[in-house]
Amino acid sequence: GRVKGRRRNNQENNSLKARANDVPAGRATPIILLEGTGGVSVFSLQFAKALGLKVICTSSSNSKLELVRKLGADVCINYSNTKAWGKKAYEISCKLRDDSSTNGRKAEGGVDTVVDVGGAATLSNAIDAVRIGGKIMMVGNLGGRGGEIKRLDKIFYKAIRIQGLVVGHKQGFEDMLKTMETHRIRPVVGKVFDLAHSKEAFSYMASDKSRFGKVVIRVSTPPSKCLSSSRPSPSLPAARDVTLSSKL
């Protein structure tokens, strides 16, 4: 029973990994590029490492890069010091690929997926970083709604797929919960606000550049009362407030 359970978990993980990066299971280990160290990027890092992906992270803060290293980031790039961080990520990706997966050929350059949170401010670098046939998932617009995007022709020369993402589908959510349960993933919480201080929480999100991980608003209703009684909740570890330093 235990062996079958492990096999089933491995099959589910391989399926998730392949679907997330459009790379058939068993081929080169996918490489993902994450921008910044906010809630989306840090949570993405936790999932990526749980599924065995290789991860390149960017930040303007060396102290934050040290934190993502502790969470498993394979390579860190300070974009304040490296303006062309997309090209840098492209070069690094060649070295990250498994030699055994290339069958003696030169390793393909470019990351498989970019999780883009900056919008127009980061899209040019994201285009430089991604491989031929790779994809850019746009999940944020922190750099503003407008701006110059260089070399748009690379999108079709490299056959890049750019997809906007606000929320996923039900099956994806259930897969996420299974992965969290299997790998005991706990989101990194940078700061918690009470419901009465929601306004301060949003101001902190918008203006405080020192934040790392998720910003949480605590509500008074116990989580158990928010769950449907007709369906058992997944057996995740009990939620608790933990400071960032203790989580790492």
pLDDT at 102: 54
Predicted TM-score (pTM) above 0.85: no
pLDDT at 145: 76
Per run of 10 residues, the mean pLDDT along the chain (length 248 residues) is: 54 51 60 94 95 95 94 96 96 78 67 94 94 94 80 91 90 92 92 93 86 89 46 34 35
- Coil vs helix vs strand at 51: coil
pLDDT at 152: 86
pLDDT at 12: 54
For residue 175, give both structure tokens.
């897969």
Side chain identity at 159, as an amino acid letter? A
pLDDT at 106: 64
For residue 45, give both structure tokens.
């890092």
pLDDT at 76: 97
Residues contacting 217, CB < 8 A, separation 6+: 192, 193, 194, 195, 198, 201
pLDDT at 7: 56
Instruction: Report d(CA 138, CA 98) in Å as an integer.
Output: 27
Residues constituting the chain: 248
